């Protein structure tokens, strides 16, 4: 399971524990030790970068991406690109909240999305 900084860690950790899976954090640039893959992405107010450990996903492994909110989809799109570059198999993305008016799901059309609350 992949969990995105920072509120996504709360949801991801609980879900990983319940499912008995491992948890791989995705963090902003410069916060992870060791060797990382990095992806730049656009925000509503600028740009940022996300990182994941190079040994976080084995090729061919199934991956669920978890975060608290999907809004415009920029963050999840960047994470999905990182996972695909690492040859992980994305089985879905799960969120507590989906802000439907911002159409974030449209940026990750090939990934099944589950959200508990839709606004």
Of 7, 38, 85, 106, which one is the catalytic site residue? 7
36 Cβ neighbours under 8 A, 6+ residues apart:
51, 52, 53, 54
Task: Specify whether 7 is catalytic.
Answer: yes
Residues recorded for the chain: 119
Residues 28, 113: Cα–Cα separation, whole Å: 23
Give catalytic status of residue 77 as yes or no: no
**Out of 35, 44, 58, 98, which one is annotated catalytic?**
44
Q: What is the largest CA-CA distance in the chain?
A: 39
Active centre residues (catalytic): 7, 44
């Amino acid at each position: 399971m992949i969990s995105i900084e920072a509120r996504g860690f709360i949801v991801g950790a609980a879900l990983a524990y319940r499912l008995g899976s491992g948890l791989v954090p995705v963090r902003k640039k410069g916060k992870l030790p060791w060797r990382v893959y990095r992806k730049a992405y656009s925000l509503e107010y600028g740009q940022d970068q996300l990182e994941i450990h190079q040994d976080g996903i084995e090729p061919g492994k199934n991956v669920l991406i978890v975060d608290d909110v999907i809004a415009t989809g920029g963050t999840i799109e960047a994470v999905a690109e990182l996972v695909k570059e690492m040859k992980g198999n994305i089985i879905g993305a799960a969120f507590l909240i989906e802000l439907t008016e911002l159409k974030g799901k449209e940026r990750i059309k090939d990934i099944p999305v589950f959200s508990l609350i839709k606004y």
